[in-house]
């Protein structure tokens, strides 16, 4: 893309704050190859639509001429010392003086002439306007603009998970070009300092009452010369997946836990009744596996409850009506009663096994018969003990709400 020149380069520093409607924020780390082109296009996009705005270059420690280029092209430079894509954006957004903020990369992959699309939707009252590069949302990816793995697996997969897990109404969750009101941004309480900043924003937005809309854009090939992208496929892919999991106790803990418990109950039943299925005999060893699955699954379910409770108490997630109904039914006192029942039954089974040992003069026992008492007994004791500890811990987490 060729560089465009304006007859007069505006200076945002000379413009009164009240006149600034839109702040363009570009994170920057050694973007001398493309920064001037991006700034020029952004000024043109603002000027052609008659939008009063400013351009902020959030510099994250550039050692090339990026800062000089930004200043000479009418942008305001904000130095951000803490490293990371998210850190740079948080610093730039914090310094923004416009009612609306539009963020995007400075590598010339986004066409800043498309600014009016975002401003139009923001003026209509949307809180967050997400760009979409993928055809599924009406966007377009030019040849060579996106690596094959990102184009056909990474972005579609993560976008699908965002819709499934968080009900995020977008088709391109990783698109870095987006607009939002600064007032709405302040409610999101952004934490991530790396590449997952943009994903965190969308997830957080779905946790709040918000109006989100997607606008199609075109992704162009990276305009930088001989410079590797800041995004690292597998490192940043894992960081995004980790963030998804941390903000979704249901998928990280609850559903796997429920599945394990169901498998464990089935195996335990087959082992207890010495079932024979298709010529395979299920005995005491099957009971061992069933007990293991139940204990691991139950622990996972407890982690889901603890994690969700903590996240709500800390304001990381909104109140969940299902959690409130759950705690109306399963409170500390009822949990202690159930724990006591499990402990009593478990201890009785263990005592029965000890009595069998006594009946043979504390000699050798029939392994298969005795373990049918020991394994269920030990399992119930552990479940009861876990429930007692978790019940008190959940109550401690909820003390601030009383």
Read out DSSP for 91-114? HHHHH--SSEEEE--SSS-B-GGG
Q: What percent of the chain has pLDDT over 70?
A: 92
pLDDT score of 399: 66
Strands 276-277 and 178-181: unpaired
264: Cβ–Cβ under 8 A, 6 or more apart, which residues? 289, 290, 291, 292, 293, 294, 295, 296, 297
pLDDT score of 74: 96
- Taking the CA of residue 12 as centre, how many other CA atoms within 13 Å lie in the half-sphere pointing to its CB? 32
15 pLDDT tier (thresholds 50, 70, 90): very low
232 pLDDT tier (thresholds 50, 70, 90): low
Bigger pLDDT: 226 vs 177: 177
Structure tokens at 401: 């709400």
Report yes or no: 104 and 175 within 8 Å, Cβ to Cβ: no
With 0-12 CB in 10 A as exposed, 13-18 as middle and 19+ as buried, what is 325? exposed
pLDDT of 335-381, one tens digit each?
899 999 999 999 999 999 999 888 888 888 787 888 989 999 999 99
Bigger pLDDT: 196 vs 97: 97
Residues β-bridged to residue 216:
132
pLDDT score of 312: 79
Mean pLDDT of the chain: 88
Is 6 strand, coil or helix?
Answer: coil
Q: Helix crossing, 284-313 with 321-329: angle to 10°?
A: 120
pLDDT score of 21: 96
Q: Give mean pLDDT, residues 11-34.
A: 78
CB atoms within 10 A of CB 334: 11
Gap between the Cα atoms of 218 and 216, Å rounded: 7
pLDDT of 128-141, one tens digit each?
999 999 999 999 99
pLDDT score of 3: 40
Answer yes or no: is pLDDT of 237 > 80. no
Among residues 27, 11, 9, which one has the least CA distance to residue 19? 11
What's the sign of the alpha-carbon dihedral 314, 316, 319, 325?
negative
pLDDT score of 349: 93
Q: Give mean pLDDT, residues 42-65.
A: 95
pLDDT score of 369: 83
pLDDT of 263-291, one tens digit each?
999 999 999 988 888 888 898 999 999 99
Answer yes or no: is pLDDT of 59 > 50. yes
CA distances from residue 338 to 187, 309, 352 in whole angstroms, order as listed: 41, 21, 21
pLDDT score of 139: 95
Answer yes or no: is pLDDT of 76 > 80. yes
175 pLDDT tier (thresholds 50, 70, 90): very high
Answer yes or no: is pLDDT of 45 > 80. yes
Structure tokens at 164: 């499934």
Q: Please report the DSSP string for 152-214 in residue order.
A: IIIHHHHHHHHHHHH----S-TT---EEEEHHHHHTT-----STTHHHHHHHHHHHSS--EEE
């Amino acid at each position: 893309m060729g560089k465009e020149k304006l007859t007069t380069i505006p200076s945002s520093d000379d413009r009164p704050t009240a006149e600034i409607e839109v702040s363009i924020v570009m994170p920057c780390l050694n973007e001398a190859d493309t920064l001037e082109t991006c700034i020029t296009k952004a000024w043109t996009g603002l000027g052609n639509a008659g939008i009063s705005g400013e351009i902020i270059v959030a510099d994250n420690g550039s050692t090339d001429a990026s800062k000089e280029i930004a200043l000479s092209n009418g942008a305001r430079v904000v130095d951000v010392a803490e490293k990371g894509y998210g850190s740079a954006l948080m610093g730039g957004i914090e310094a923004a003086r416009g009612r609306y903020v539009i963020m995007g990369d400075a590598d010339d992959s986004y066409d800043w002439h498309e600014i009016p699309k975002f401003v139009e939707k923001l003026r209509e009252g949307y809180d967050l306007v997400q760009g979409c590069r993928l055809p599924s949302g009406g966007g377009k990816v030019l040849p060579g603009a996106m690596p094959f793995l990102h184009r056909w697996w990474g972005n579609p997969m993560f976008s699908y998970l965002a819709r499934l897990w968080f009900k995020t109404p977008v088709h391109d969750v990783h698109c870095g070009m987006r607009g939002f009101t600064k007032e709405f941004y302040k409610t999101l309480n952004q934490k991530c300092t790396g590449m997952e900043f943009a994903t965190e924003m969308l997830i957080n937005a779905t946790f709040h009452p918000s109006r989100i809309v997607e606008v199609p854009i075109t992704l162009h090939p990276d305009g930088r010369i001989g410079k590797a992208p800041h995004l690292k496929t597998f490192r940043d892919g894992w960081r995004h997946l980790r963030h998804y999991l941390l903000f979704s106790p249901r998928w990280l803990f609850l559903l796997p836990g429920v599945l394990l418990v169901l498998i464990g109950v089935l195996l335990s039943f087959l082992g207890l009744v010495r079932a024979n299925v298709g010529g395979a005999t299920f005995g005491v060893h099957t009971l061992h596996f069933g007990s293991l699955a139940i204990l691991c699954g139950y622990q996972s379910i407890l982690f889901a409850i603890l994690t969700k409770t903590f996240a709500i108490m800390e304001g990381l997630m909104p109140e969940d009506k299902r959690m409130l109904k759950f705690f109306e039914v399963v409170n500390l006192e009822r949990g202690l009663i159930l724990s006591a029942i499990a402990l009593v039954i478990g201890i009785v089974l263990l005592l029965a096994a000890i009595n069998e040992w006594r009946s043979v003069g504390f000699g050798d026992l029939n392994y298969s018969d005795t373990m049918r008492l020991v394994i269920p007994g030990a399992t119930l004791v552990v479940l009861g003990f876990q429930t007692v500890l978790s019940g008190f811990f959940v109550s401690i987490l909820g003390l601030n709400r009383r």
